Structure 1
Amino acid sequence: MPLYQSVSINQDTQLLVWKITESYNTLFRSVQLRDVCLARLEGMKSEQHQNGFLSVRMLLQEAGYTDFDLYYDEDGKPHLKDGKYISITHSHNFSAIIISNKNVGIDMEKQRKKILIIAEKFCTSELSYLNTKNDTERIRQLTVIWGVKEALFKMISLPGISFKNHIDVVPFTLEKDSGDANLRFNDMNCDYSFYFQEIEGFTLVYSFEKKQTQSL
């Protein structure tokens, strides 16, 4: 069973990571799916996407849940029937979930050079502190930034939020493995803490809300 990581971040939050090494058939035989999820699985054209979907169900089982405990709202945000918060991610041969009593977001991304080209599409203030002399470090920084913004977007789940215009990642260092971010959108002004780790060329990010105030 390639459970890569299972960590109790605190008494309220559990993080689980799966490294996908099994075949589709092996994963499929290991889980039970609701009819709606079975139909969704069968509609996926990519086996990689199918394996990501199934490995998330394997992680649910590791956490004491099944596919029958999971549902999605009209915006596509996942929820657990016991009222706990859950966030889900999968990228290539990794998947991860985070379960908490508090609202939480997670994202996992492969570190790729392509992110250097698209940086200005999702960064504004962050461009001022990126390492411009070392492409490898800049890729790592940008992957964290993208992951933070993706994790926050999953937490908030509101249409119209722009990664570039509404979410700012405060300057951070790769050595510290944590940082802060802010979202300003409509009447929202929210501060977040984020944490990250690098796993075999991937970056895993998860975030929590710190506080919320009204915009002036």
Structure 2
Amino acid sequence: MPLIKTKKTEKYTYAIWKIEENSETLLKLLKPNKYELTLLNKISNQKRKDQSIAAKILLNNILQKKTTIFYNGKVPYCKEISNISITHSDNYAAILLSEKKIGIDLQKEEQKIIMLKNKFLSKEREKNNYSIEDLHFIWTAKEALYKTLNGLTCSIKDNIYIEKKMKKGYFIKNNVKIEYNLESKKINDLYLSIAIKSI
């Protein structure tokens, strides 16, 4: 199990895993219970299934015991810790644990993000000449922030704003405004962003 990165702070713990094992090995590492098997059997895409298994194994390794991830809609949670956030990209999986409201997103670098920028940049921001790196950081920061909203209906393009210096982000809709602290970094060809709800 090649761990690419682990980090533990006062606010959170996260780990990133590069998935090199085959599906059979992943299942043996997870030792899934009946509930986990039921959920996994609903995932038809094998790559997505392997990513899901990897995230579950990461959680077990961080907590050093068998732990089950449950879902409220699409929002993951477990009994052992207040907040968890999960992300996958290609053959990578990552999980973030915290007692605070948090979100994580991981994306492998891809040139096609240039063609997709109109899906997550406001019309005003689309005019800016962003680099590939800038676009990945904005995208992952918005996705990380979105994951803290527990499925709340919103537009990543129009309701989530990221400051130019990538230190702050905001969810703004109607009369609601929520501020977030952001942490972003590049690890090899991976872009990682973490959003932490400000108090």
Residues 1:99 and 1:89: Cα distance change in structure 2 (over 3 Å): same
Q: Does 1:146 align with 2:124?
A: no
Equivalent residues of 1:86, 1:99 under 8 A apart: yes
The aligned runs of 1:40-79 (5 Å cut-off) are 40-64=39-63, 68-73=67-72, 75-79=73-77
CA distance in 1, matches of 2:5, 2:85: 16
Q: Does 1:190 align with 2:178?
A: yes
Equivalent residues of 2:81, 2:98 under 8 A apart: no
Equivalent residues of 1:34, 1:67 under 8 A apart: no
Q: Does 1:200 align with 2:188?
A: yes
User: In structure 1, the residue corresponding to 2:100 is in which secondary structure?
Assistant: coil
Equivalent residues of 2:81, 2:97 under 8 A apart: no
Equivalent residues of 1:130, 1:141 under 8 A apart: no
Instruction: Encode CA deviations 1:100-120: one digit per residue, 9 max, x unaligned.
Output: 110100011122122111212
User: In structure 1, the residue corresponding to 2:104 is in which secondary structure?
Assistant: strand
TM-score normalised by length of structure 2: 0.90
- RMSD value over aligned CA atoms? 1.8
1:159 Cα deviation (Å)? Answer: 3.4
Aligned residues: 198
Instruction: Encode CA deviations 1:59-99: one digit per residue, 9 max, x unaligned.
Output: 012111666432111x3111120342110011111110110
User: In structure 2, the residue corresponding to 1:168 is in which secondary structure?
Assistant: strand
What is the identity percentage for the equivalent residue pairs of Structure 1 and Structure 2? 26
TM-score normalised by length of structure 1: 0.84
The equivalent residue for 1:98 is 96
Question: 1:42 is matched by which residue type in structure 2?
Answer: N
The aligned runs of 1:7-26 (5 Å cut-off) are 7-8=7-8, 10-26=9-25
Residue segments in structure 2 that go unaligned for 5+ positions in a row: none
Q: Which moved more, 1:103-112 or 1:184-193?
A: 184-193
Residues 1:126 and 1:194: Cα distance change in structure 2 (over 3 Å): farther
Instruction: Encode CA deviations 1:151-195: one digit per residue, 9 max, x unaligned.
Output: 1111012432001111111112xxxxx521111023320111111
